[in-house]
Structure 1
Amino acid sequence: MVHIKLLTTGGTIASKRDPQTGLQKTGVISGKVLMSQLEIDDNIEISVEEIFSKSSGALTFEDLIHLKDKVTEHILDNEVDGIVLTHGTDTLEETSFFLSQVIDTTKAVVVTGSQRGPELIGSDAYANLQDAITLAAAPDAKQIGVSVFFNQKVFMPRFVKKINSMNVDGFGGGGTGYLGTVDGNDVKIYQYPKKHDTYKVKEKLANVDIIKCALDTDEKFIDCAIEHKVDGLVIETMGRGHANDRVAAGVRRAIEQGITVVITTASEDGDVKVAYDFSGGISQFKKDGAINGGSYDSKKARIKLAVMLGAGETVTKEDFWY
């Protein structure tokens, strides 16, 4: 018998239509009610624990720390063989990546959700949950550690991204694709993630903001972040790491104030790289002490920076190489 722990946090997968407004209310349906609608293999035992009951957009860094502690508690429980975490889709990619950065485990931790509520026609809630449980119980999933499951596909948290706001095929893995599939009771893993470092956050995550650049962006939001004494900044630039002289001046001031700055690109694929020599781009950011964020998107870079600073780590370009 395989024991899977189901941890619930709310989100669309636990939503219910409000009869007065006709709109969905998230986090209303309990994990036990969801489980009652599934057809689970007789060799899998499920126990359910509610961690939160809220929209994923309402989660905080403090919530992430609490969630990490709960997941760790069950990983250390010898009676638990795997974990499934239900989560709202809006920040699912951030939470799953956070867990992958702070939890080193040989048990499967599968994060899933749904694009349509359980009561809606064509809902993906029950299929995703049932398949996620099947994945968590599979021996081949243990080597992955933390993964994201959606629409029959298994993704690594480093590259998973919500690519559609409404379609049930809502998540993709970018240029790296997906790790494997679940088809009924058949679990196939085609590739495994590269081994990476994990970190021990001392008390809390560092305060890190994202600032997005576009045509004619200036430095006012960087100056605002400096005024609010943030610990770190992720600057989402254009192309290979390009902005303009005003942004570069703001980045320089932030670094002079002791703020760790990471430069990312808004492009879906490709790395930030010194390929041009002009004053408003990565060549100047590098000279001023900013860190090249490589192929990280801004949200994942923010989580990684918040974790590393919260763990008291020195942050370098090499930390963003993979």
Structure 2
Amino acid sequence: MKKILIIHTGGTIAMIEDKQTGSVKPNEHHPLASIIPAIKDMADLKEDIFLNLPSPHITIAHMVKLASHIEQKITDDHIEGIVITHGTDTLEETAYLLDLIVQSDIPIVVTGAMRSSNELGSDGPHNLVSSIRVALSEEARGQGVLVVLNDEIHTAKNVTKTHSSNIATFQSPQYGPVGIVTKHRITFHHKPIRRDRYQVRELKKNVILLKAFAGMDESLIEAISSSPINGLVIEALGQGNLPPAVVPALQKLLEQDIPIVLVSRCFNGIVQDVYGYDGGGKQLKEMGMIFSNGLNGQKARIKLLVALETTESREKIQQMFYQ
């Protein structure tokens, strides 16, 4: 049987609801522990409690340590597939960072749950089993880090949490899932054509994420300018436009060689240098801002953190964001 490592990091999938107070909290005894014996015939399953944290507590440092931990386990224990259980709030960020910096081609699947283990209709056990099945699939090899919940298989690059509580929350808005999990088989119906990978072992830079809004002025930009930052990601309006009042403050950041990446705050679509008015995308591109090819804000921040560990060239960073 294939050797599959299950790495637990916490999250709702590892929590229990207090019926008296309604509070959902981490539990010392992992709720999925009782599931493993029932599925031991699926594979040679190994468990590893790496963390037991709600996902809002997960930091970039935790993610980088997890990537190193994964590669060490693959080497030392000859692991053939990995399933990571994780809280859903920051699941997509952990999955995407792992996708960028883990060098192995073995299947790596991240999953979670929207309902705690003792709630009616708890989705954790089913998502775990589905993820193990995907990790066992030969077709999953070489596809980068995958996210599996609710019988759908998504790429880490494209998936995002779209609903605060619905179990069908994880979607890939522009492209859809790359595969599905059915009762009898794992089916991939398309695959990513490329995968970005970088030899990075620590992320030390400070990158800020801001969301543009109507009437936005320079005050936020000036406030962050007074702190030590290495990069800025802005969820811009529409195809990559900003209120004109912020432009002079952003120009000052660019003059300090601080890269600024633009993504769209829209659910679908990419930023483009189309509009030529003051604050329009064409003006911003000519100023030297970096346009992203479809990443959302939180993932663009992850990618800029990685990019800044590999180069200081704005042109090279722009090329990285075109991929």
Same structural fold, with TM-score higher than 0.5 when normalized by the shorter chain = yes
Q: Look up the match of 2:296.
A: 297
Letter in 2 for 1:320: F
Alignment of 1:183-198 (within 5 A): 183-198=182-197
Alpha-carbon distance in 1 for matches of 2:42, 2:20: 42
- Is 1:18 the counterpart of 2:18? The answer is yes
Q: Look up the match of 2:73.
A: 74
Sequence identity of aligned pairs in percent?
31
| C-alpha contact (below 8 Å) 2:14/2:32 kept by paired residues | no
Q: Secondary structure at the match of 1:47?
A: strand
Change (3 A) 1:86 1:267: same
* More displaced 10-residue stretch of structure 1: 229-238 or 218-227: 218-227
Give the superposition deviation at 1:93: 0.7
Alignment of 1:1-322 (within 5 A): 1-18=1-18, 21-26=21-26, 28-30=28-30, 33-36=33-36, 39-40=38-39, 42-77=41-76, 79-312=78-311, 314=313, 315-322=316-323
Alpha-carbon distance in 2 for matches of 1:156, 1:259: 30
Q: How many residues align?
A: 321
Give the superposition deviation at 1:79: 2.4
Alpha-carbon distance in 2 for matches of 1:171, 1:9: 19
Structure 1 segments unaligned to the other structure (5+ residues): none
| C-alpha contact (below 8 Å) 1:115/1:125 kept by paired residues | yes
| C-alpha contact (below 8 Å) 2:285/2:291 kept by paired residues | yes
Change (3 A) 1:170 1:232: same
Alpha-carbon distance in 1 for matches of 2:134, 2:153: 9
Q: Secondary structure at the match of 1:240?
A: coil
Alpha-carbon distance in 2 for matches of 1:156, 1:162: 13
| Two-structure CA RMSD over aligned residues (Å) | 1.8
Q: Secondary structure at the match of 1:233?
A: strand
Change (3 A) 1:125 1:208: same
Alpha-carbon distance in 1 for matches of 2:200, 2:132: 29
Alpha-carbon distance in 1 for matches of 2:177, 2:60: 27
| C-alpha contact (below 8 Å) 1:138/1:187 kept by paired residues | yes
| C-alpha contact (below 8 Å) 2:15/2:31 kept by paired residues | no
Please list every run of at least 4 consecutive aligned residues from structure 1 whose deviation after the TM superposition is greater than 4 angstroms: none
Alpha-carbon distance in 1 for matches of 2:123, 2:141: 24
Q: Secondary structure at the match of 1:76?
A: helix
Give the superposition deviation at 1:29: 4.1
Q: Secondary structure at the match of 1:133?
A: helix
Q: Secondary structure at the match of 1:174?
A: coil
Give the superposition deviation at 1:311: 3.2
Letter in 2 for 1:317: Q
